[in-house]
Structure 1
Amino acid sequence: MQVVTENNSFTVTWKGEEILHHSPDAPFLFVGKGQENVKMFRGNFDIKDYVTERLALPFIQVRNESDSIKIDFASYPNGPSVVTVQLVQKENEVKLVFVKATENINRFWLRLKANKEEKVYGCGEQLTHFNMRGKNFPLWTSEPGVGRNKSTYVTWQSDVTGMAGGDYYHTNYPQPTFVSSRKYYCHVETTAYADFDFRNDSFHELQIWEMPKEVVLEGANDFLGLLEKITDRFGRQPELPEWTYNGIWLGIQGGTEVVEEKLEKALAKGVKVGGVWCQDWQGIRMTSFGKRLMWNWQWNPEVYPNLDTKIHEWKEKGIRFLGYINPYVAVEGNLFATAKERGYLALNEENEVYLVDFGEFYCGVVDFTNPEATEWYKTVIQDNLIGFGLDGWMADFGEYLPTDVKLHSGEDPMEMHNAWPTMWAKVNYEAVEESGKLGEVVYFMRAGYTGIQKYNTLLWGGDQSVDFTLDDGLASVIPAALSAGMLGNGLHHSDIGGYTSLFGNKRNEELLLRWTELGAFTPVMRSHEGNRPYDCFQFDDTERSLDQLAKMTTVYTTLAPYTKSLVKQNAEKGTPVQRPLFMHYENDEATYDIQYQYLYGKDLLVAPVYDEGVTTWDVYLPEDEWIHVWSGKEYAGGNITVEAPIGEPPVFYRKDSEWADLFGKLKEIK
């Protein structure tokens, strides 16, 4: 990257194009003051801001230092410095370190150069828009919403009954980082509320509700190189344990006897099973939302009698047991009592334990700014999960930190709210690492923020609705995986069948089978019964569904050697397992706006069927020699239509792939 300073301007260029330009006529930096109003209801946030002042800083004074450039920004010529920035240049990187700002400024707007043809990706996990041009994206970890489209009935119902409908930008995992099609990324180091606005043809405007620590711009010659640089910065996920490739993790609830019965039923049908995932291992709580959990993180022998011995019996058969935990403790449990007594829970303004409403039950927030509380919660994981025999778990939530809570450290919860998911991930990571189980135990999270890449062994797409909608159903997990992957979260999966069933929205057999097809071409297959299992179709409800599950889990296990090689690439270089088409076909302009197909590694192209009642599917193939997995027919690229009955999702492999013989075996699977 090159930096040029002259008179009242400075410019940063990458590959001959301006990516940052400041001049009196086009300032880079604006500052101001604002007063936010934040309301939270069960993890859904209503955030409004009243900006009382916004001031452009068009005039600069530049001071060259030995290894950097100091820039003072002022509102009028030769005026006092309002903001001081230190610009540090390396070969392919420019870093703008914010040194100081005038007191009481709490709003910053930064403008980067854009062009009309540019695409942008990232900003965490985005479920509606992979390419974010034309939209703005508030970055605040929260529930993603139910419906997530203001024009739908389910979204409206969710909004009027619980402020929970959501919108296109709501996500469990935001991150103030974007990747440009011009092969650079921009990262803003902050945990405050932010809003990245990509609506203008000539600039991107990044709003941050504090003085950012720094802004990093870094480029590479191709997207693979860029992902390596991104993960050099944020960290990389470790490889998955060997046992994860043995088959699906069957999501089953209801107790030891039910699990045993459903497991045997699946195995008898030839379903390849790597584990059973029982989120109710610590107890069941029924609410109007559906089947919830007790949130007291230890084995419940009343619901799961003999689980302490069954875990080991299943493990001897090659089937691991996975459970569930989150960073909150319910008021009825002994863990809450212990945490309260020791002062490990966050407080309210009256210095009493802050109780958060999670939907007809209340919990305390384990205060991870208190080192003693953090160490205690690690021992809960080590003793009650790992020590009991669990080989994995859902590490749920992390988005619910209230903005009026009092923390042990005294830090502002408005700035800690976004930081919480990564702190929660780190608790899990250190608990596993200190137990010597990293590489053997896997936990999966939905919440995230900057730095989650290093501390989370597996991402999952959160709570989708049990339907075919683009914004909140089956299709939404594809841009979710691609956007998260662009920031170094290359191990992603979703609840097979979705999760949320509300307002008469019920899972049917076709949805479960189509989601199973998608799951076979992700790093991990895991099913979910949903919040209302009794209303939703389950994997063992028909012989047909069991047969299809057997077929697709066999596809998954057959692909295991290939998938392992991709997971290794992710651990070593940060190259995601599920990749946008442009990652390997960057000269094909059409690939930059495709968000419902993906490359599974370099050699497989997957175009999941996400519509109901169809048996053919339109696919775009980049120019190459492609072979349709199920028919063996060859294609050279372009727009095609293929047969896509249930059990034969549109999947193609590169003819000259070193894995072609393995891929050729898939069509023999019945």
Structure 2
Amino acid sequence: MRLLLIFIVFLSAPALLAAQYQQHNLQGSTLTVDTDEGAVTLNFYQNDVVEAFYQAKGVKQLPSFSISQSPADIALRLQETADKLILSSAGLTVNIEKSPLKLSYYRSGKLLLAEEQGYVQNADNQQHGFRFALTPGEKLLGGGERALGMDRRGQKFPLYNKAHYGYSTESSQMYFSLPLLLSSNKYILLFDNSAKGEADLGATDKNVLQFSAEGGRSSYVVVAGDSYPQLVSNYTALTGRQPLPARWTLGNYASRFGYHTEVEARAVVQKFRDAKLPLDAIVLDLYWFGPDIQGHMGNLDWDRTAFPHPEQMLADFSADGVNTILVTEPFVLTTSKRWQQAVAAGAIARGLDGQPKTFDFYFGNTGLIDVFSEQGQNWFWQIYQSLTEQGVAGVWGDLGEPEVHPEDTVHAIGMANEVHNAFGHQWADMVYSGMQQHFPAKRPFIMMRAGAPGSQRFGMVPWTGDVDRSWGGLKPQVELALTMGLSGFGYIHSDLGGFAGGETFDKELYIRWLQYGVFQPVFRPHAQEHIAPELVFHDKDTIDTLRPWLNLRYQLLPYNYTLAYQNSVSGMPLMRPLFFYDETNTALLDEKNSYLWGDAFLVAPVTEPGVTSWPVQLPGGVWFDYFSTKRYAGTTKVEVPVTLNTIPVLVKAGSFVPMTKPVQSTQDYSSEQLTLHYYADSSIDCAKGEMYEDDGKTPDAIAKGEFERLNFYYLNDNGTQKFELRRSGDYNGKPQSREVTLVVHNQSAKPSHISIDGRYIQLVPQPARFARLENVAYYDKASRQLSIKVDWQADLTQLAIR
């Protein structure tokens, strides 16, 4: 059971002989190299993506949970010399030293990554893994949810999904561990292994990166690219991209731990409606299946005493534009109503004695559903199918690390430690596959707090777990979101306001967290119920402060939905690190407090109380304060003035930002009246933007071609500002025409001539006349804003301003 064995810190067995090359075979995009210790397979999935799969003799190999792409039909070139093989695609070259076997990866003649000793193994405890050489100054981002700073080089941490209740500013182990790193040397390295393990990023030896695990798959993948966005695109093409969610996913959620009765749930929805605050979803925590916290997990059926008419409640909510999401867990208590049913169905993971494995944890004595077995999946899915048929709109999978997972638990494909990190992944796969088969007209919503590389392809919407309700809990949220976004999880978000603890209501903290939430992928305040997380339960001043922010969230639906589209087709995260703006500025790799919301916005959440200004790192270019319109430029750190009503939100010069009127739910959304903001600056001679539109609910709308793209262009032609509005595509419900108000910001002077498609239009002196007339313009000297109203019917509409 060895391929190569060396003495390193996590491997204590004596060193054995290194693997020696024997022969090779190239078939299509796969090269197999036989050695005296086993086979090594190199699979090219793209020109820039290659997997190295070491198959040591006698070592059990689990399937890949991460890779969803099949090896591509790629033209490879193989050269052989006396001491090496050289395998090349159009994007990567792999040097394979024969004695001892060792792989190095090059792109355009430059070394990306090299095995330091390659595959290593400990015959005593079945740990195995890989060692790679690090280069001076190389930064390493990734590893999943951890509060350690963006650059994780020099850290050592567990690869084991584990709850960290009430975490704050620092955490080395959390709910969503990922054996995945992005290097400043422009590669992504994926350790394709689902087992309990460890990552050592130069902590033990500053020049060595090593992964180890207790079993699992002995495989890693190297992803290359010319830019960081291309790296993410290539990686998500390999592991799968996030399906486009329903538009309501981007709305406001009512959520807490938790609503005890149907009366209470109905009352909170009505309270939002009475306050005229938008609402698109309500999340029911574990009280929907039991009257208290302990003893009922696994019932997974309505407590008809507390919820006597759930089907009618679901229907009433749906008619009001409110989608219902139910919490579920993979634990079935021995005291639950379904325990005997689950045992009889063979759904419970077993112990070493072959009997259903039971153990104690906080909620009671329990078994764990084996989501890796056909019996477990079939039994679990029929519960989701029944709930969906009743009208439930979304699934919340909680405790899916799993939170408690005894090592002697036997799953269908391996022991607990071998498959632990893939549990949430397999659970999401089960729900997503069931939804596709049985409810093909729905876009699934699957919120879970644990998974594995590639879980995003099942529509997983992860969150950052049970964060402390404190300023310390707010501080690491940008870092957590950026790290997960780079790893394919574009919908990572936090419990807005904080979840755990907090004995008194901190009004300022609550406001700051929800302001940040407007520029998060999911807007979901959630907390323990002793302090209400929902905005409607707070004082009038808090509501008045946050109402414009919540309305802004809904006004930005065209922009945000376009970010969702971009994520679905390219893997581009909605929250983007500043180094995406300037990849030559390596200092931006460490920036964990500011981020880009799409291409247009730079956001810096305020994470300390009582401040009147807040530092913002500029990444270069020109930016305008969304609130004050002040112009900023350069790569310095600036102090942006703030009040309790504002946080730093900057808009990039040359940006197009489409917006609509706020609505009470996305059910009422329409883009027939569109406000298109353009941020002009003398530094920008040309610019472009886009907007994606479909009906907000049809699955695979992109693949089916059932969508419309609206493209916007700007050109400064010798002092004449030219705009083009182009539209293409069709879908059910598409507006045949749109009333578009183009708002040009930072317009330095009143124009003398404005035309639409060659026709002169009137520049009116009063905003009241502008509001009631068609095809007119108005210039506001004080705000330096030019507004032009356009009846957009044609596929191409052109405007000229001089």
Whether the TM-score (by the shorter chain) exceeds 0.5 is yes
Q: Percent of counterpart pairs with the same letter? A: 23
SS of the residue 1:379 aligns to? helix
| One-letter identity of the residue aligned with 2:481 | A
Partner of 1:580 in structure 2?
Answer: 577
SS of the residue 1:260 aligns to? helix
Partner of 2:274 in structure 1?
Answer: 268
Residue 242 of structure 1, CA deviation: 2.0
* Whole-angstrom CA distance in 2 between matches of 1:211 and 1:397: 22
| One-letter identity of the residue aligned with 2:530 | Y
* Whole-angstrom CA distance in 2 between matches of 1:66 and 1:613: 65
Residue 341 of structure 1, CA deviation: 2.4
For the Cα contact (< 8 Å) 1:191–1:416, is it kept in 2? Answer: yes
SS of the residue 2:15 aligns to? strand
Match of 1:392 among 371, 390, 394: 394
Partner of 2:33 in structure 1?
Answer: 70
**Where do 1:193-208 residues align within 5 Å?**
193-199=196-202, 200-208=205-213
**Where do 1:562-573 residues align within 5 Å?**
562-573=559-570
SS of the residue 1:387 aligns to? helix
Residue 118 of structure 1, CA deviation: 1.4
Aligned residues: 590
For the Cα contact (< 8 Å) 1:559–1:662, is it kept in 2? Answer: no
* Whole-angstrom CA distance in 2 between matches of 1:147 and 1:228: 31
* Whole-angstrom CA distance in 1 between matches of 2:590 and 2:600: 20
Residue 267 of structure 1, CA deviation: 2.8
Deviations 1:629-660 (A, max 9, x none): 11111111321111222231211111201227
**Where do 1:225-304 residues align within 5 Å?**
225-251=230-256, 253-280=259-286, 282-284=288-290, 286=292, 294-304=297-307
* Whole-angstrom CA distance in 1 between matches of 2:373 and 2:238: 26
* Whole-angstrom CA distance in 1 between matches of 2:19 and 2:373: 43
Partner of 1:488 in structure 2?
Answer: 488
Residue 285 of structure 1, CA deviation: 5.3
Residue 220 of structure 1, CA deviation: 0.6
SS of the residue 2:390 aligns to? coil
* Whole-angstrom CA distance in 2 between matches of 1:352 and 1:108: 30
TM-score, normalised with respect to structure 1: 0.81
Partner of 2:513 in structure 1?
Answer: 515
**Where do 1:123-272 residues align within 5 Å?**
123-147=143-167, 168-199=171-202, 200-210=205-215, 212-251=217-256, 253-272=259-278
For the Cα contact (< 8 Å) 1:30–1:109, is it kept in 2? Answer: no
**Where do 1:391-410 residues align within 5 Å?**
391-400=393-402, 402-407=405-410, 409=412
SS of the residue 1:524 aligns to? coil
Deviations 1:214-252 (A, max 9, x none): 221120111111111111111111111022334344446
Higher helix share: 1
TM-score, normalised with respect to structure 2: 0.68
Q: Establish whether residue 53 from structure 1 lines up as the match of residue 16 from structure 2.
A: no
| One-letter identity of the residue aligned with 2:396 | M
Partner of 2:594 in structure 1?
Answer: 597
Partner of 1:37 in structure 2?
Answer: none
For the Cα contact (< 8 Å) 1:497–1:507, is it kept in 2? Answer: no
Deviations 1:138-180 (A, max 9, x none): 111111343367xxxxxxxxxxxxxxxxx72212111222111
Residue 420 of structure 1, CA deviation: 0.9
| One-letter identity of the residue aligned with 2:559 | Y
* Whole-angstrom CA distance in 1 between matches of 2:16 and 2:637: 48
* Whole-angstrom CA distance in 2 between matches of 1:32 and 1:113: 16
Residue 114 of structure 1, CA deviation: 1.6
| One-letter identity of the residue aligned with 1:233 | L
Residue 305 of structure 1, CA deviation: 3.4
Partner of 1:120 in structure 2?
Answer: 140
**Where do 1:433-452 residues align within 5 Å?**
433-437=436-440, 439-452=442-455
* Whole-angstrom CA distance in 2 between matches of 1:377 and 1:180: 39
* Whole-angstrom CA distance in 1 between matches of 2:618 and 2:16: 47
Deviations 1:292-333 (A, max 9, x none): 974421222222233321222222221222221121223332
Gaps of 5+ in 2: 60-122, 659-675, 680-742, 746-782, 784-802
For the Cα contact (< 8 Å) 1:559–1:663, is it kept in 2? Answer: no
| One-letter identity of the residue aligned with 1:619 | V
* Whole-angstrom CA distance in 2 between matches of 1:347 and 1:334: 20
For the Cα contact (< 8 Å) 2:289–2:300, is it kept in 1? Answer: no
For the Cα contact (< 8 Å) 2:163–2:174, is it kept in 1? Answer: yes
Deviations 1:487-545 (A, max 9, x none): 111122221112112xx655522222111111111122111132xx2256753131122
For the Cα contact (< 8 Å) 1:629–1:666, is it kept in 2? Answer: no
Q: 1:551 to 1:284 in 2, by over 3 A?
A: farther
For the Cα contact (< 8 Å) 2:160–2:196, is it kept in 1? Answer: yes
Partner of 2:40 in structure 1?
Answer: 85
Q: 1:393 to 1:369 in 2, by over 3 A?
A: closer
For the Cα contact (< 8 Å) 2:615–2:640, is it kept in 1? Answer: yes
For the Cα contact (< 8 Å) 1:139–1:196, is it kept in 2? Answer: yes
| One-letter identity of the residue aligned with 1:476 | P
* Whole-angstrom CA distance in 2 between matches of 1:54 and 1:538: 59
Partner of 1:619 in structure 2?
Answer: 616
Larger deviation, residues 55-64 vs 601-610: 55-64
Residue 360 of structure 1, CA deviation: 4.5
**Where do 1:344-363 residues align within 5 Å?**
344-363=347-366
* Whole-angstrom CA distance in 1 between matches of 2:523 and 2:554: 10
RCO higher in structure (CA 8 A, sep ≥6): 1
Partner of 1:468 in structure 2?
Answer: 471
Match of 1:609 among 606, 610, 620: 606
For the Cα contact (< 8 Å) 2:4–2:19, is it kept in 1? Answer: no
For the Cα contact (< 8 Å) 1:322–1:391, is it kept in 2? Answer: yes
For the Cα contact (< 8 Å) 1:173–1:447, is it kept in 2? Answer: yes
* Whole-angstrom CA distance in 1 between matches of 2:611 and 2:442: 41
For the Cα contact (< 8 Å) 1:607–1:649, is it kept in 2? Answer: yes
Partner of 2:523 in structure 1?
Answer: 525
SS of the residue 2:381 aligns to? helix
| One-letter identity of the residue aligned with 1:478 | V
Q: 1:514 to 1:344 in 2, by over 3 A?
A: same
Residue 609 of structure 1, CA deviation: 1.0
Q: Establish whether residue 534 from structure 1 lines up as the match of residue 530 from structure 2.
A: yes
Match of 1:656 among 654, 663, 666: 654
Q: 1:583 to 1:369 in 2, by over 3 A?
A: same
Residue 83 of structure 1, CA deviation: 5.8
Residue 56 of structure 1, CA deviation: 7.1
Gaps of 5+ in 1: 1-27, 35-48, 73-80, 150-166
For the Cα contact (< 8 Å) 2:278–2:551, is it kept in 1? Answer: yes
CA RMSD across the alignment: 3.0
Match of 1:318 among 318, 321, 325: 321
Q: 1:83 to 1:534 in 2, by over 3 A?
A: same
Residue 557 of structure 1, CA deviation: 0.6
* Whole-angstrom CA distance in 2 between matches of 1:430 and 1:308: 24
Q: 1:335 to 1:438 in 2, by over 3 A?
A: farther
For the Cα contact (< 8 Å) 1:627–1:654, is it kept in 2? Answer: yes
Partner of 2:553 in structure 1?
Answer: 556
* Whole-angstrom CA distance in 2 between matches of 1:123 and 1:206: 11
| One-letter identity of the residue aligned with 1:653 | V
For the Cα contact (< 8 Å) 1:129–1:168, is it kept in 2? Answer: no
SS of the residue 2:145 aligns to? coil
Residue 600 of structure 1, CA deviation: 0.8
| One-letter identity of the residue aligned with 1:85 | V
Residue 211 of structure 1, CA deviation: 6.9
For the Cα contact (< 8 Å) 1:111–1:203, is it kept in 2? Answer: yes
* Whole-angstrom CA distance in 1 between matches of 2:505 and 2:609: 12
Residue 264 of structure 1, CA deviation: 2.8
